[in-house]
Structure 1
């Protein structure tokens, strides 16, 4: 799996602010692994370096790494060239995702969708104005990865999340990139549920292609409209799924 750009990694390894607890650090890194923001087999920075980047003590970091190893998301290799390496899961279990979806109310999902659409739309507009050829090349590869994952909801969701983050990175806005990563770590995995249906998955492939074409053409307003439409379609499906969950 291709690694994401430096802008995306900066968001993953940004300080954990005031949530310097073992659980908060484990969730930040674990979500980044599940979302595909940290690639399978990727080596994490050394403990002292990573603790400094996250703004936590080495004791807190070590506790988080223990949690991630117990969850099967990291493996530790000893000796020369050793360290902590990502072991990405094949996809989050559907039952866990349904339980996570049940934690949201319908209005909360809609509000989250409105906020995410605004951020994704703004990032897409700026990406169309600011991205360079390297950024476009990364977006093309991720769009191809998404299309190739048809029929695999977990792979589709991972590719979709990576593409959203890479668009934000292409906008060359660290704040928008961090905000996009926050959305993806908070609720991005739920997209597996929405993309399990062929009609929505097919529509998402077409939306991605149209979005990339708009970014390549420098059509900022068109890119923003397409990004917002894409986010709202996914949220509408999640709202429908939430309404049909048993109480």
Structure 2
């Protein structure tokens, strides 16, 4: 297992930090499975070990695994060689994703954009300072996969993996964990915008530019490019939340997410 993959796995299996522990475990593992951070057929750690890694009781973990089985994301086998195994779904339905997007206010999406941009920007800058040329191979492979991906579900998973691998390239366990956490919140929503082949070209071009800046050791350029990549995607999601992809395209992604438009204008667009 390479270092980047190990960092990603460690980030998935870190303690949850919320009062609603069963829901938190279900969401952490469920989103990691849907994003492809856990492989189809992969065996999860044993109940005792997994509960300890997630910082929950075995009772809580068992309830979460039951919920995941009901969702078709985990299969449990009994007897020798048994355990809980990952079942990667074909992908969340568009109706589910749109309902999930509707749960976010535009203010929350803008706040998420700021947070994600800060994390990805910092990761890109540190990666430019710390990586060797061979360390960028996972990012290049992921970019090639993204270019070839034909459906939005696969594209969203690969795009999420790119950002997680970028954080891993920064050689920061905390940034990697934070990027995984962000992707479990927003990664699946990317399906809603990555079905557009034209936008996919924009995304792959931005990812290629980030890799180039990291390879050149241009930390500030890498940071700015990674931030622009995040802001462009969240701008489009905000446009969908307001009911118009066209409105998203008119917002400038290179600006910070706050202050792009006044609340009154935003509410006006929501009514149109």
Q: Judge same fold: TM > 0.5, yes or no.
A: yes
Distance in 1, Cα, partners of 2:108 & 2:20: 26
User: In 2 relative to 1, CA 104–20 (structure 1 residues): closer, same or farther, beyond 3 Å?
Assistant: closer
Distance in 1, Cα, partners of 2:63 & 2:4: 26
Greater shift, 14-23 or 34-43, is seen at 14-23
Q: Which runs of 5+ in 1 are unaligned?
A: none
User: In 2 relative to 1, CA 146–34 (structure 1 residues): closer, same or farther, beyond 3 Å?
Assistant: same
Partner of 2:99: 99
User: In 2 relative to 1, CA 134–84 (structure 1 residues): closer, same or farther, beyond 3 Å?
Assistant: farther
Q: Secondary structure at the match of 1:16?
A: coil
Q: Could you state the TM-score of these two structures normalised by the residue count of structure 2?
A: 0.85
Partner of 1:153: 152
Deviation digits for residues 126-182 of structure 1, max 9, x if unmatched?
Answer: 111113455322112211111111x31111110000110111111111221121112
Distance in 2, Cα, partners of 1:134 & 1:83: 36
Distance in 2, Cα, partners of 1:209 & 1:91: 26
Aligned residue runs from structure 1 range 202-213, under 5 A: 202-213=201-212
Q: Which runs of 5+ in 2 are unaligned?
A: 245-269
Aligned residue runs from structure 1 range 156-167, under 5 A: 156-167=155-166
Deviation digits for residues 181-228 of structure 1, max 9, x if unmatched?
Answer: 121111221111111212211110111112112222222122111111
Partner of 2:217: 218
Deviation digits for residues 71-103 of structure 1, max 9, x if unmatched?
Answer: 110112233322111111121111111111111
Greater shift, 155-164 or 199-208, is seen at 199-208
Greater shift, 172-181 or 50-59, is seen at 172-181
Partner of 1:197: 196
Distance in 1, Cα, partners of 2:55 & 2:7: 18
Distance in 2, Cα, partners of 1:108 & 1:48: 36
Partner of 2:76: 76
Distance in 1, Cα, partners of 2:114 & 2:67: 33
